[in-house]
Amino acid sequence: IIEMLPQPLTGRSELKIVKSHNALLVNGSADVIGEIEEVLRSLDRPIPQIFFEALVVDYQSSDIRDISLELGTGPGIPGDSSQTSSGDITRWIPGLDVLRRGKDVGNFLSRVGEKIPGVNIGRLPDDFYLRVKALETAGKANIRSRPQIATLNGHTAELKIGETRYFRLVSETPIRDPAQLYVQTSERFQTVEINISLTITPWVSASGEITVEIEPVFNTPGEQVSANLPPNIQSRSLKSTVRLRDGETIVLGGLIQESVSESISRLPLLGRIPLLGRLFQTRNHQKINSELLIYVTPHLFYGDDWLEPD
Would 97 be classed as within a structural domain? yes
Same-domain status, 246 and 284: yes
Q: Does the residue 187 lie in any domain? A: no
Residues facing residue 141 across a β-bridge: 59
57 with 39, same domain? no
Residue 227 is predicted with a pLDDT of 66
Does residue 272 sit in the same domain as residue 293? yes
Q: What is the 3-state secondary structure (H, E, C) of 57-72?
A: EEEEECCHHHHCCECC
Report how far residue 92's alpha carbon sits from residue 108's, in angstroms, rounded to the nearest whole number: 11
Q: Are strands 210-221 and 240-244 parallel, antiparallel or unpaired?
A: antiparallel
Is residue 16 located within the same domain as residue 126? no
Provide the pLDDT for residue 201: 93
The answer on 144 and 59 residing in a single domain is yes
Who contacts 179 (Cβ-Cβ below 8 Å, separation ≥6)? none
CB-based contact 67:59 (threshold 8 Å): yes
The reply to whether 157 and 243 lie within a common domain is yes
d(CA 157, CA 149): 7
Please indicate, yes or no, if residue 175 is contained in any of the structural domains. no
Residue 203 lies in a domain: yes
pLDDT tens across 150-177, in order? 898 889 998 887 777 777 787 777 777 7
Does 15 share its domain with 101? no
Residues 157 and 271 in one domain: yes
CB 62, CB 286: distance < 8 Å: yes
Q: Give the phi and the psi of residue 63 in degrees, each rounded to 5.
A: -145, 110
Q: What is the pLDDT of residue 71?
A: 31
Per-residue model confidence as pLDDT tens digits over 196-219: 888 999 999 878 889 999 888 877
Q: Are residues 21 and 137 in the same domain?
A: no
Q: Which residues contact 223 (CB under 8 A, 6 or more apart)?
A: 231
> Given this model, what pLDDT does residue 302 score?
78
Pairing of strands 157-176, 148-152: unpaired
User: Are 31 and 58 contained in the same domain?
Assistant: no
Number of domains in the chain: 2
67 lies in the same domain as 206: yes
> Which residue range is the domain that position 1 belongs to?
1-44
Look at residue 201 and tell me if it is in a domain: yes
Domain membership flag for residue 169: no
Long-range contacts formed by 236-242: CB under 8 A, 24+ apart: 238/118, 238/119, 239/213, 239/214, 239/215, 240/116, 240/119, 240/213, 240/214, 240/215, 241/211, 241/212, 241/213, 241/214, 242/112, 242/116, 242/119, 242/121, 242/211, 242/212, 242/214
The answer to whether residues 6 and 52 belong to one domain is no
State residue 254's pLDDT score: 57
- Low-confidence stretches of the chain (pLDDT < 50) are 62-119, 307-310
Query: The whole model's pTM is what?
Result: 0.58
In a domain, 168, yes or no: no
